[in-house]
Amino acid sequence: MMQGQSRPGFFGQYLVDPRRRAILAGVIMAVAGLGILLRPHGHATPPREGDDLATLATLVNLPAMPLSAHWAVTPVNATDAGRSSVWSLDATMVFAPSDAQRITGADVFYKPPLDAGRLMRVDDTHFRLILNSQ
């Protein structure tokens, strides 16, 4: 070692070689990537069924607020009737007579990922809605 030069530290001596620096950078990036992948995620699962209008409003667009509703979310197998749907929503809703006249079809209820389905009018104020995701 020459006089006037500072003595390299432990990592300084190790990191003189560019290959070692590249390996160390790769290891740091791999550990950071693993940390991101393995960090716990809060995957929200949709509720299975209920009578709560607020939760139903998060699943579908409501052209009018129903007086009452009962809905159920069910997974759909890809082999069922050749569908590629992931899940299906089946809702029975009761609207006020003035609101029931404004409901024209299932398309007013579509909200991603629910984008296909049908609406059946049971009587003047009762409706059954079946929507599928794709």
User: Residue 106 in contact with residue 129, Cβ under 8 Å?
Assistant: yes
Residues 50 and 129: their CA atoms lie apart, in Å, by 15
Q: State the pLDDT at residue 133.
A: 82
Cis peptide before 113 (omega within 30 of 0): yes
Residues 89 and 115: their CA atoms lie apart, in Å, by 11
Find tokens 């393995």 and name the residue: 38
Average pLDDT, the chain: 82
3-state secondary structure the chain: CCCCCCCCCHHHHHCCCHHHHHHHHHHHHHHHHHHHHHCCCCCCCCCCEECCHHHHHHHCCCCCCCCEEEEEEEECCCCHHHCCCCEEEEEEEECCHHHHCCCCCHHHHCECCEEEEEEEECCCCEEEEEEEEC
For the chain, which residues make up each domain, given as ranges?
A: 9-42, 49-133
Residues 32 and 35: their CA atoms lie apart, in Å, by 5
Q: How confident is the model at residue 27 (pLDDT cuts 50, 70, 90)?
A: very high
| Maximum average pLDDT range among 4-13, 64-73, 80-89 | 64-73
Q: State the pLDDT at residue 67.
A: 93
Residue that wins the pLDDT comparison between 114 and 128: 128
**Residue 70 pLDDT exceeds 90:** yes
- pTM across the whole model: 0.59
